[in-house]
Amino acid sequence: MAKALRNVSDSEIKLLSIFHKVVARGGLSAAELDLNIGRSTISRHLKDLEVRLGVTLCHRGNSGFALTQEGREIYEASIELFEALNQFKAKANDVQENIKGVLRVGFCDKVVGNPNSRLPKAIRDFSKAYPEIRIDLHTQQLNSVENNVIDGEYHLGIVPIHRHTSSLEYAPLFVEDMSLYCAKGHPLFDKDTLLIREVLQSLKLAAIDVSSPNLQVFSRLELKPSASAHDQEGVALLIQSGEYLGFLPDHYAHHFVEAGIFKRLVSSVYRYQCQFSAVYSKSNKPGRIAQEFLKYLVNAHETPQSETPSRRGIHKIQSSDSRWCAEVASQ
């Protein structure tokens, strides 16, 4: 019979956090990037945890990853443990007279340069008010930011909204204008031809390959991508090849247009807006640090912004989620 686990030290908590992450990501391979350690090291840590607990937690190997009954019970217990630890850390920060600590925020790429974003102002004002708080910013894909916020690894996330999950709370901040672009060398670059849907559907299109507003728009408009990328940078590279059309943020594509490399297809294409929001976990409630930063974020974006000029011949295709819409030129 295995000995009872009499103490839970930092080393056990570290091993449990690795196990927790592996289960949350569905296997060792999926957890490698998040943990920043190799599969063999992860497997060794899991084995060490099994020895300390005296039970087999999971089956891992060529046949895949699967939890045992004991593993499921330990995983459920670990959820309670880490929620309790996060709550303790939040309360411990709250009782300090002067707020100190670390603020961890995740966000998606190509936010810098968006004229609708007031993130620099929010960070500047917050940093002046709380100079002893260290801000850690992490740039990741949308689903990774959401998962890390839900897990409590990030206090807040700043993401484009494409669906709502019951595990998160949302605070709308700003919008991002997206348009369809081609590059020098593409047949449409030197033409002003009206692009009807049938023609658009016959052309090569590049899309982001993860769950996102971009992929959602492709689905709703019945467009099938011929190439894909993990982020906006990859989409821009595919467009720059001259073979593909793709949606990009207008603020990001602006310098390519000014340089004569890209062309925005204004009069004949689909457009859409992404609503960016601050998100935080319902279960891992943000502590005082995150709550204060959230106030600065919301206040900064309540500053009146100039209205977007009206565009003739444009009507909106509304989604069931009113937080985003695509626009298509009347045909």
Q: What is the mean pLDDT of each run of 10 residues along the chain (331 residues)?
A: 64 89 86 83 91 89 85 90 81 63 88 90 94 91 87 91 86 92 92 72 85 78 85 93 93 94 75 90 85 94 54 33 36 32
Residue 75 in domain:
yes
**What is the C-alpha separation between 79 and 22, in angstroms, rounded?**
13
CATH code assigned at 77? 1.10.10.10
pTM score: 0.65
Q: What is the 3-state secondary structure (H, E, C) of the chain?
A: CCCCCCCCCHHHHHHHHHHHHHHHHCCHHHHHHHHCCCHHHHHHHHHHHHHHHCCCCEECCCCCCEECHHHHHHHHHHHHHHHHHHHHHHHHHHCCCCCCEEEEEEECCCCCCCCCCCHHHHHHHHHHHCCCEEEEEEECCHHHHHHHHHHCCCCEEEEECCCCCCCEEEEEEEEEEEEEEEECCCCCCCCCCCCCHHHHHHCCEEEECCCCHHHHHHHHCCCCCCEEECCHHHHHHHHHCCCCEEEEEHHHHHHHHHCCCEEECCCCCEEEEEEEEEEEECCCCCCHHHHHHHHHHHHHHCCCCCCCCCCCCEEEEECCCCCCEEEEECC
Residue 2 in domain:
no
Residues 167 and 297 in one domain: yes
Residue 141 in domain:
yes
Residues 170 and 189 in one domain: no
Residue linked to tokens 């690795």: 18
For 177, the token pair is: 């204008």
Mark which of 58, 93, 128 sits at the end of a domain: 93
Residues 168 and 186 in one domain: no
State the pLDDT at residue 304.
Answer: 56
- Structural domain count, the chain: 3
Residues 121 and 210 in one domain: no
CATH code assigned at 238? 3.40.190.290
State the pLDDT at residue 6.
Answer: 63
Distances (CA, A) of 16 to 22, 23, 47, 191: 10, 10, 11, 59
Half-sphere exposure of 19 (CA within 13 A, CB side): 33
Residues 53 and 197 in one domain: no
Residues 105 and 21 in one domain: no
State the pLDDT at residue 99.
Answer: 66
Residues 86 and 72 in one domain: yes
**What is the C-alpha separation between 175 and 160, in angstroms, rounded?**
8
Neighbours of 38 (CB within 10 A): 11
Domain range spanning residue 148? Answer: 98-174+275-301
Residues 202 and 165 in one domain: no
Residues 30 and 128 in one domain: no
Residues 208 and 322 in one domain: yes
Residue linked to tokens 């957890």: 31
Residue 290 in domain:
yes
Residue 56 in domain:
yes
Residues 228 and 321 in one domain: yes
State the pLDDT at residue 292.
Answer: 93
Mark which of 56, 75, 93 sits at the end of a domain: 93
Residue 197 in domain:
yes
Residues contacting residue 211 through CB under 8 Å, at least 6 positions apart: 142, 143, 162, 163
Residue 3 in domain:
no
State the pLDDT at residue 30.
Answer: 81
Mark which of 48, 75, 93 sits at the end of a domain: 93
State the pLDDT at residue 314.
Answer: 31
For 123, the token pair is: 């960070």
Residues 143 and 290 in one domain: yes
Residue 1 in domain:
no
